[in-house]
Amino acid sequence: MRAHKIAVCHIASGDRWAGAEAQIATLLKSLVRHDELQLSAILLNHGRLAAEIQRCGIEVAVIPENQNGFLAILSEATRFLRGKGVRIVHSHRYKENLLAALLARRCRISFAVRTQHGLPEPVSGIKRLKQAMIQWVDQLIARRATDRLISVSSEMTRQLARRVNPQRIVTIPNGINPEEIRSDLSSREAKDRLGIPRDCWVLGAAGRLEPVKRLDVFLEAAKLIQAHLPNTRFVIAGDGSEEVRLRALALACGLQDKVLFLGHRNDIYDVLRAFDVLILCSDHEGLPMALLEALGLGVVVVARAVGGIPEVVQDGVNGILVDSNDPRSLADACVQVLADRARSQRLTEAGIKSVREDYSAAKTADRVAQLYFSLCEQA
């Protein structure tokens, strides 16, 4: 036991509930078990993340960015941190990274840590110019005002090392809490809740409806699967900018009666329980929480071999990897796994075992806590 607790403040946006927010909440719930740490958080929006963090006894300051300009947020955050003796500020996105760097200087905080949850997503037009400027500033902060950068996958670490001193990068994968990743429903009951006949196969996707997720590939694959297995339904859980386009594509593919668009769901584990297969079609991923959650719930995963996914999924052992964005390759992989119940059972058992042993929230939190301790011991 250390003589004095190490005060750490996390800074996050909290305006939505997606993979990064789920991981922040999961991490903090596990970090709170370390008696050597005194945790607090600054969030830029009210929402589920704030509620989740407060529920485990962490002091939270919510400074709504829709009511405050950046300088006002900086001022309010400075008042919140004053007198707390914070030694480490830990940020989670580009705006929060800038805020953390300024707060560290203002409040004489010894160390700045950030987590890179994913890489910038491709955009076009004026958004591309804006993104380039944001990235330039963010990389400058990473190089000059960040002591440690946590990467959630080895593949991402290799990319980040091109722009940041590799000695400052630490690879710590995301983790899940197996006790929380659960559903009281059977697969049949979960299908009932979604209005899907019990004898239907259910293939689904879960996450943000954004271009990088390539749900157009999911729907093109669904069209091929439906032609081969008519007794199949498809589920898309999540919301985002692509919803209108994806609904139109589903109609064009003749899937209007076969695809359910669920929007954002707070009961995502019950939704995943209805899935026979989770399909991940993204062009890039860090280490998606939906992947870990599905494996933990015993759902077969068929995924493109991108980002950190191959670090979790061993092809043919605890899931199926596809090296192409070709819808037919994904469709063939899904049809083959559905046709072999014994193989599906082996995959689900291995998936549950792998996330429990290698991707637990406790293990992730232990590694983050050790990073905090090592920084403070250097001072």
Tell me how far apart the alpha carbons of residues 198 and 235 are, in angstroms, rounded to a whole number. Answer: 14
Residue 258 in tokens: 């076969």
Q: What is the pLDDT, as a whole number, of residue 255?
A: 95
* Helix, strand or coil, per DSSP, at residue 341: helix
Residue 168 is classified by DSSP as G
* 328-334 mean pLDDT: 97
Q: What is the pLDDT, as a whole number, of residue 3?
A: 55
- Indicate whether 128 and 216 sit together in one domain: no
Residues contacting residue 307 through CB under 8 Å, at least 6 positions apart: 118, 119, 153, 155, 156, 282, 284, 285, 286, 287
47-102 confidence digits (pLDDT tens): 999 999 999 999 999 999 999 999 999 999 999 999 999 999 999 989 999 999 99
How many beta carbons lie within 10 A of that of residue 65, not counting itself? 17
- Indicate whether 225 and 108 sit together in one domain: no
Q: What is the pLDDT, as a whole number, of residue 118?
A: 84
CB 63 within 8 Å of CB 103:
no
Instruction: Please list the alpha-helical segments (H only) found in 233-326.
Output: 243-252, 268-273, 289-296, 309-312
Domain that holds residue 219: 187-358
Residue 239 in tokens: 């919301």
2-14 confidence digits (pLDDT tens): 557 999 999 999 8
Domain count, the chain: 2
- Indicate whether 232 and 123 sit together in one domain: no
Q: What is the pTM of this model?
A: 0.89
Could you tell me the CATH number of the domain that includes residue 146?
3.40.50.2000
Q: What is the pLDDT, as a whole number, of residue 379?
A: 64
* CA Rg value for the chain: 21
Q: Is residue 1 part of a domain?
A: no
183-192 confidence digits (pLDDT tens): 999 999 999 9
- Indicate whether 348 and 370 sit together in one domain: no
